[in-house]
Amino acid sequence: MKNTHKPKKGLCRKMYFARNLLDPEKVKHVSTRDGFGMGLLEAGKQDKKVMALTADLTDSTRTGAFKKAFPDRFVQVGICEQAMASIASGLALSGKTPFISSFAAFSPGRNWEQIRTCIALQNTNVKIAGSHAGLSAGKDGGTHQMLEDIALMRAMPNMRVLSPCDSIQTRKAVEYAAKTKGPFYIRFSRIASPVITTEKTPFKFGRAEIFRCGTDLTIAATGPLVYEALLAAQALSEDHGIEARVVCFHTIKPIDKSMIVKCAKETGAFVTVEEAQVNGGFAGAICETLALTTPVPVERIGMQDKFGESGTARELQEAFGLTAPFIALAADRVLQRKLSKRVSAKPAHITAAEELYKKKSKG
């Protein structure tokens, strides 16, 4: 009897996605930092031990609502990120649950040593909230665009690392961290980004979720660029009949190794997507797992050993090759490698990004 079974493809309906998901013009846009503010406020309502500390960035980190609701549990330390980390450690040792917030470039960028010694080494119950991560600081330029934080924080013992895909997932991540003992790092961005999930969308710490079904390759993505991965997968399906599986990794540490192995065995190829340095970042976590368990071809979308520059966040994402068209190019290359075909020494998605960068620089 002929087998008429067709493999699953397309959006995973059990994820209960937002309406108009694949229409960039209609899907709702909300900043993930707004999700942090909502989650922090809710955590404060549920637990009187929750406190918020910020380094002169109350509005930017969306801690204002918490300050208004719980002024006696809010601490404005000023531009003293190192002191903020040390103070928070002391508060945690006295039974509190402090969240420290600043631009990711400054926390964990400036106070990494204090986080290491006072928080991670002591395994204290401090939550580090890094706002304006990736290229989202935009015109503030390379000094404020934190691209190394994933690598910095996932290498730190005792540290859990979360990179939510949208505002709703960010809120859920914050609420989970508030209820769970030990250090957490949660990264989020400045700009408004598509709201992919809903209240019904599953969220479990440490578990990656399949957002789109497919058997030809896996696109593993984290943070707001999960949306670009979904757009790329849709274009690959419509234009070339390629069915990409898209997996959302909101938890980078501990990485979901079982999901990585499962996808490697079922699809045989990976493209990783992140708004951070691929060296040591999310791509590093994926590649390390694959190398130790199920080696398959991998292409990496992210910052290729470069600092950011001044420009709008969208201009920079395009100039550095982080959007859907570049993900599709990486998918084509990894599929050629999967079939053991010859490919150019330099990946097409990197060449295309460099050409676009030069064009935008001249323009």
Q: Counting every residue, how long is the chain?
A: 363
Q: If you search the block for the tokens 């979360």, which residue do you land on?
A: 162
Q: Checking DSSP bridges between strand 209-213 and strand 10-11, what pairing results, if any?
A: antiparallel
CB 331 within 8 A of CB 244: yes
Q: Is 81 considered catalytic here?
A: yes
Give the type of residue at 7.
P
What is the SS3 assignment for 202? coil
Q: What is the DSSP letter of 115?
A: I
The distance in angstroms from the start CA to the end CA of the chain is 61
How are strands ordered across the β-sheet holding 270-277?
10-11, 209-213, 244-248, 217-221, 270-277, 298-303
CA distances from 95 to 28, 50, 82, 83, 165 (A): 39, 10, 21, 19, 31
Catalytic choice (81, 175, 209, 275):
81
Indicate which residues carry an active-site annotation. 81
